[in-house]
Structure 1
Amino acid sequence: MADPETAEDLLFKQQRKEKKDLQAKIQSMKNAVPKNDKKRRKQLAEDIAKLEAELSEKHEEELKQLNSSVLGDKADDLADGVQSLDLDADDPQPCKQRPSKAQKRRDKKAALEKERENRIAEAEVENLQGSRHLENQKLSQILGGKQLQIREIMSDGHCLYRAVEDQLLRRGCTLGLAELRSQTAQHMRSHAEEFLPFLTNPTSGDMFTPEEFEKYCSEVADTAAWGGQLELRALTQVLKIPIEVIQAESPTIVIGEEYRELPITLVYMRHAYGLGEHYNSVEPLKEEET
């Protein structure tokens, strides 16, 4: 027969459920915001961080209250034990030896370690069934058919440009991150009629004004603003090279098919990091070491 669940077990179970519910809510929030809407995605990141911080603070407070309750129970037990002592020397009663403070500390440490191991095991199972793991499996299959594998790119807002930079370097071109951003922004400014209709104010829903469009281009050039479809289009036109984007959940797309150069290949990952979207580069598939 299974041991009855303690108050600590019930609290951990409740907190795990609340974390899963929050992750589902966050995913729903992400899906509701267009990838090319930088302002709303920035606000989304702040909202998500706030939600996660509030839940973490709530869980910490619950643990403090639980520990206070446990300590109170132990104090009551100690008082009961003192009152039950028979101090009559003529009729001594056998006394059950209580665990020492050191033993209690060891028991508590062992219980916490066991809980930590259980959490790690649950996280590993969840990861194996989660979106990130499934996405990696699909991408490995697609890339394996092309004799390619993922080459990891830093997740710092520059991932699109760093992935393109990596691909160009393999062709002997040393065009760097700063130049790629600068030329992308300048090309968008010079061809505003091609890019402006796809940019809207997140509050009003109206198309960007010239001032808002100029600010957007400045962010492309001078900040770590994340790049998406518009920047990919601008990059192909700047480089005169097609860009092939492999993704797990949708067919591979090629931007800039009008150019005859061999495409450079990027991998688009929807579930790679906290906010999801991320670009990686690729490299030739390496044989697994025995």
Structure 2
Amino acid sequence: MEDLQARHRREARDLQSRVTQKKKKQASKKTRKGVNDECEKLEAELHEKHAAEIAALNGEPDAVNGEPEATAEAEALSEPLEALALKPAQDDISESTPAPQAHDDGPPTAPQTKKPNKAKARLAKRALEQEQQARQAAEEAKNLPDLKQQERARMLEYMSERGLREKEIRADGHCLYAAVADQLEQLEIPLGLVSGVEGVPAYRVVRAAAAEYIERYPDEFEAFLEEPLEGYLRKIRETGEWGGQLELMALAKSYAVDIHVLQDFGRVEKIGGAGGKEQAVWLGYYKHGFGLGEHYNSLRKAG
């Protein structure tokens, strides 16, 4: 009985292989029903054959003619065939794909491994290269001089030599005007009003003073402008546009003070406007020290 069962299992696997080949190579929309019917007929014939052989070995009547016990045993032996049955072939199955081969000593061979995705491999390689470049740049940055720290250390040294201490001004685009306002308050020089309106922030009052002076004496400034005077004045009055050399000149004349700008390496730029009076405004100018770029702080007297 064991030898018979082993042979039945081999025959069931062989038939399954044949059925699979038929469905892959012969089935199409037009022929699928005929191929399926043929496969079912082959499976039924093998089932009947196995049932008859088991009944003959047991010395019993033909299971196909009504012996339930032999039939049950044959159905049990045919379970591998049913378990291995595949769904009808689909239209998109490639005819060139080989079917798994059946062997007497084991299950059908596994399908071929999917080929690596070349696009994903290229992306992974590129990501690795970028990561390596970032690490290299970080290592190189460690060896570069810290310009901000160096500039700050030198500025503090030069302030100390001149008996000055720093009042930090917010880096928001209004720093030049806010620093000048702080200096004027230290000198007890009135800032003035903006069109007669009180309660305006100090830096806005100083902005208005710079714009008013440039507007009053346009011949002194228009040669240095790269845009129409009207638009330039609007930026000074109404926006957070940075101030520079022209605005310092206007403020020195407007408030009749000398403006001293201490820069890196101890250089001091003087913008005259006091007209012989001993009234000096001191500002500290930074090129690297702040995130927005160039920046002005107010320099008060130490002590």
How high is the TM-score relative to the length of structure 2? 0.50
Residue 279 of structure 1 aligns to which amino acid in structure 2?
Answer: Y
| Aligned twin of 1:248 | 264
Residue 152 of structure 2 aligns to which amino acid in structure 1?
Answer: N
The total of aligned residue pairs comes to 167
Per-residue CA deviations over 1:181-219 (Å, capped at 9, x if unaligned) read: 11111110111111010112xxxxxxx3xxx21111111
Percent sequence identity over matched residues?
32
Answer yes or no: is 1:265 the counterpart of 2:296.
no
Matches of 1:162 and 1:13 in 2, distance apart? 45
Residue 146 of structure 1 aligns to which amino acid in structure 2?
Answer: R
Residue 199 of structure 1 aligns to which amino acid in structure 2?
Answer: L
Matches of 1:216 and 1:20 in 2, distance apart? 44
| Aligned twin of 1:219 | 235
2:217 to 153, 178, 191: 191
Unaligned runs of 5+ in 1: 1-6, 24-121, 201-207
| Aligned twin of 1:229 | 245
Matches of 2:266 and 2:159 in 1, distance apart? 14
Answer yes or no: is 1:178 the counterpart of 2:193.
no
Per-residue CA deviations over 1:244-277 (Å, capped at 9, x if unaligned) read: 1000146201101552232110001011223421
Matches of 1:179 and 1:271 in 2, distance apart? 28
- 1:13 Cα offset (Å): 5.1
Matches of 2:131 and 2:150 in 1, distance apart? 27
Residue 213 of structure 1 aligns to which amino acid in structure 2?
Answer: L
- 1:231 Cα offset (Å): 0.2
Change (3 A) 1:20 1:279: farther
Matches of 1:282 and 1:12 in 2, distance apart? 45
Residue 269 of structure 1 aligns to which amino acid in structure 2?
Answer: Y
Matches of 2:190 and 2:216 in 1, distance apart? 24
Change (3 A) 1:169 1:17: farther
| Aligned twin of 2:133 | 14
Residue 224 of structure 1 aligns to which amino acid in structure 2?
Answer: G
Residue 154 of structure 1 aligns to which amino acid in structure 2?
Answer: R
Greater Rg by CA: 2
Residue 272 of structure 1 aligns to which amino acid in structure 2?
Answer: G
2:298 to 275, 281, 288: 281
What's the C-alpha RMSD, in Å, of the aligned pairs?
Answer: 2.9
1:130 to 141, 146, 153: 146
- 1:285 Cα offset (Å): 3.5
Greater relative contact order, per chain length (Cα 8 Å cut-off, separation 6+): 1
Matches of 1:193 and 1:16 in 2, distance apart? 55
Q: 2:282–2:300: 8 Å Cα contact kept in structure 1?
A: no
